Structure 1
Amino acid sequence: MQPTDLRVALFSGNYNYTRDGANQALNLLVRHLLDSGVVVRVYSPTTDRPAFPPAGDLVSVPAIPMPAGRGEYRIGRYLPAAIRADLEAFAPNVVHVSAPDFLNHGAVSWARKHDIPTVASFHTRFETYFRYYRVGFVEPVIKAIMRRFYNRVDRVMPPSPSMGTLLRQWGVTTPVTIWSRGIDHDRFTPARRSLAWRRSLGIADHDIAIGFLGRLVKEKGLDVFADVVKELTRRGVPHKVLVVGKGPAQGWFAEQAPGAIFAGFQSGDDLGRAVASMDVFFNPSITETFGNVTTEAMAAGVPVVAARATGAVDLVEDGVTGFLVEPTDVSGYADAIGRIVADAALKSAMASAGVDRAAGYRWVTANQAVLDTYLELHG
């Protein structure tokens, strides 16, 4: 079978209505598939004002707002008759699911009924989210649902080896193939560092800017970030906090980290400039499956301090490109950041090592692995 023989139905919980790392990866994958001659049809909830234009042919599915104050995301319903009819008319020979929700569960059942190979990509550690909203007691139930979901498909594609190991620990026995991630190396480079932009935000040339990059939601470890900033202040470690991104927890975070500089949402080359203008990238999140922002910071020549958790452990070489710290060890994070702040030679060495380490992450290589997996399932 050739790529031009493939007809892929891709299911997403959020393909383009709110911008995040998962749907950025899915859109880049679809562009690669289309460029390779694959026919693709995407099924996802939509909104009247999407965050960006979708790659490929997008079919809107019925959905409801996510509860618990996260209405910016939507949950697709099972598989209504109209969507089943559209699927049958499209006649896919691969079904790719990307979230363990009702819609994607229905897509797997439909594919199994029609004897169509299924691939599940793993983007988000949903099981960890509930602890940030005081309902952590449901975490075992969510793990069980996810385990059942990934055991019903023909191939699971997590983005990192550590996630593959975690799936095995959960009891997922489906064969695993890694779908890594890439970096736009023209956008994320030390050359985009801008002292003028920093100055416009009130960050002096000699200031150490500790950066956060991502959606401002509590599951990104904002509570730990704020506690570490307080500890750095208590210790007298000179720093400024530079926050790049927006989200529903921005007001809460601003209260917890007074004095933080919020640069807002950045995209394109402006995002590359923002990342390169940081001095330390701090990522205490334990919900990452890969950590695109971590590789982008390394590519931009910024040392990383991250949680010793899935994703980061595959990317950060501890003591070389940055530091890995136990997830809730506030003192340990402060120690690591303090070492980088106090040692210019260490900071420079980590910056150079990060650029070298990130050079191997290329989207064309990562996305070709998915296409090769589709073809292998038909081999």
Structure 2
Amino acid sequence: MRILHVLDHSLPLHSGYTFRTRAILKAQQALGWDVAGVTGPRHGTADASHECFDGLDFHRSIAPASAPTPIGEWREIGALAAGIERAIDRFRPDILHAHSPVLNALAALRVARRHGLPLLYEIRAFWEDAAVGNGTGREGSARYRLTRAAESWAVRRVDAVAVICEGLRGDLIARGVAPERIMVSPNGVDMDLFGDPPPRDAALAAELGLGTSVIGYVGSFYEYEGLDDLVAAMPALVAAQPDAQLLLVGGGPMAAALAAQAAASPVADHIRFVGRVPHHEVERYYSLIDILAYPRKHMRLTDLVTPLKPLEAMAQRRLVAASDVGGHRELIEDGVTGTLFAPDSPPAIAAALARMLADRAGWDARRAAARAFVERERNWSSNVSRYRPVYQRLLSADGMERTWSRSPPVSPATSPSHRSPR
């Protein structure tokens, strides 16, 4: 089976998006499937039209000339469609598997129909809600409504739909999408990447002046992550647990505001705002953190979408505390695998973290329970098998699996595999 994944961006860029992509493709390779990816213009300038990273092949699209919305997006769709065409000619897939945002699905639809290829569209988040979450959009605006309509239009025309969580599935069903057309492919982790957590980096702890009651966050600084609430919780937390400290590692649109808030806090000496660090040094900072906090704000994006970072933390046997929003509730059982607290509430954050710091005797049991949950239910080596029946159904409905890998490339006009569009 040969699957071509249509992507927004990929390795060597580092993001939750690329890490999920890597996990999927690696797990599919382990099943003996042939996989490749093709990225859209938003990946940025690449060194070549085809690149290999970590044993994975990625075909690149050529970025079009920039233009204002919606002309710019229309050009992106055309550029990605052309990139998919070139990738099909080189890779000869049996199935197209497009991943959000919806621009990728629209580009893949053009090409899939032209070549008679089945198309699975996987939604990791609704683009319109992601724009609201990162501060580039407003719920209910004309652009929001247009993007939502495009998403619904695409979902009704692809051959099958995948989502990463039940929240997204429920939203699509409410839009009228038949439940049997939607599979859930939950966020997971490659357990081969997570062994025993590294020992505490004593030298780095001394350099930063950190003790052993460290609350931490490592990742992107977007408004919806609620890090301002975490900083605002620190005075109450320090009043209850004087040794408590906060370590913030990362960057993003909220970086300057968070740095200023941390500097102005009455407990500024308990807050270490590090900013971005090289990727190869991230584990050093993780080693200093006792409790990883994820204080996401309550909104459509956080209610519908499950994040990846808490799962990775649990896989590394780390304690997690998170806001009680829908995306977190799908991952964390309060009091068993982690702690949930009321969203948008610095007092609730402070109280929950103070209780965790005061109950160190229960830490080992919680770490073990969290790791066991990920191994059992969110391990990519088993999660990826969910795609098999969907792929097989699409191929069965499409006729029979192609054998392009056993024949040289030929022109679309003469290839029996390039059938007329359905």
TM class, shorter-length: 0.7 to 0.9
Counterpart Cα distance in 2 of 1:256 and 1:64: 40
- Please list, as runs of the form range in 1=range in 2, the aligned pairs for 1:210-225 lying within 5 A after superposition: 210-225=215-230
Give the match for residue 317 of structure 1.
333
Paired residue for 2:274, among 262, 268, 275?
Answer: 262
Give the match for residue 410 of structure 2.
none
Structure 1 segments unaligned to the other structure (5+ residues): 1-5, 69-73
Quick one: structure 1 residues 189 and 149, their matched pair in 2 at CA, closer, same or farther if it must change by over 3 Å?
Answer: same
For residue 12 of structure 1, report the CA deviation from its aligned partner.
Answer: 0.9
Give the match for residue 182 of structure 1.
188
Three-state SS of the structure 1 residue aligned to 2:13 is coil
For residue 29 of structure 1, report the CA deviation from its aligned partner.
Answer: 2.2
For residue 98 of structure 1, report the CA deviation from its aligned partner.
Answer: 0.6
CA contact (8 A) 1:281 1:297 kept: yes
Counterpart Cα distance in 2 of 1:314 and 1:65: 41
Quick one: structure 1 residues 328 and 144, their matched pair in 2 at CA, closer, same or farther if it must change by over 3 Å?
Answer: farther
Corresponding letter in the other structure for 2:348: G
Give the match for residue 57 of structure 1.
57
Partner deviation per Cα, 1:43-95 (whole Å, 9 max, x = no partner): 21343478993653322223369999xxxxx9971134743642553543211
Moved more, 114-123 or 224-233: 224-233
TM, length-normalised to structure 1: 0.81
Q: Report whether the alignment pairs 1:279 with 2:290.
A: yes
Give the match for residue 301 of structure 1.
317
Give the match for residue 30 of structure 1.
25
Corresponding letter in the other structure for 1:77: E
Quick one: structure 1 residues 75 and 9, their matched pair in 2 at CA, closer, same or farther if it must change by over 3 Å?
Answer: farther
For residue 294 of structure 1, report the CA deviation from its aligned partner.
Answer: 0.5
Q: Report whether the alignment pairs 1:246 with 2:261.
A: no
Structure 2 segments unaligned to the other structure (5+ residues): 264-270, 397-422
TM, length-normalised to structure 2: 0.74
Moved more, 286-295 or 8-17: 286-295
Give the match for residue 409 of structure 2.
none
Corresponding letter in the other structure for 1:109: R
Corresponding letter in the other structure for 1:59: H
Moved more, 355-364 or 284-293: 284-293
CA contact (8 A) 2:102 2:151 kept: no
Aligned positions, number: 367
Corresponding letter in the other structure for 2:322: A
Give the match for residue 3 of structure 1.
none
Give the match for residue 351 of structure 1.
367
For residue 176 of structure 1, report the CA deviation from its aligned partner.
Answer: 1.9
For residue 232 of structure 1, report the CA deviation from its aligned partner.
Answer: 3.2
Corresponding letter in the other structure for 1:83: G
Partner deviation per Cα, 1:18-50 (whole Å, 9 max, x = no partner): 311111121232233344443434221343478
- Please list, as runs of the form range in 1=range in 2, the aligned pairs for 1:324-343 lying within 5 A after superposition: 324-343=340-359
Quick one: structure 1 residues 145 and 187, their matched pair in 2 at CA, closer, same or farther if it must change by over 3 Å?
Answer: same
Counterpart Cα distance in 1 of 2:368 and 2:74: 42
Give the match for residue 44 of structure 2.
47
Q: Which has the larger radius of gyration?
A: 2
Counterpart Cα distance in 1 of 2:389 and 2:283: 31
Counterpart Cα distance in 2 of 1:349 and 1:129: 38
Counterpart Cα distance in 2 of 1:352 and 1:263: 30
Quick one: structure 1 residues 326 and 76, their matched pair in 2 at CA, closer, same or farther if it must change by over 3 Å?
Answer: farther
Moved more, 240-249 or 90-99: 240-249
Give the match for residue 206 of structure 2.
200
Partner deviation per Cα, 1:253-277 (whole Å, 9 max, x = no partner): 2222233242743646x54554343
Counterpart Cα distance in 2 of 1:204 and 1:260: 8
The alignment yields a C-alpha RMSD, in angstroms, of: 3.5
Paired residue for 1:362, among 379, 382, 387?
Answer: 379
Counterpart Cα distance in 2 of 1:54 and 1:113: 32
Three-state SS of the structure 2 residue aligned to 1:265 is coil
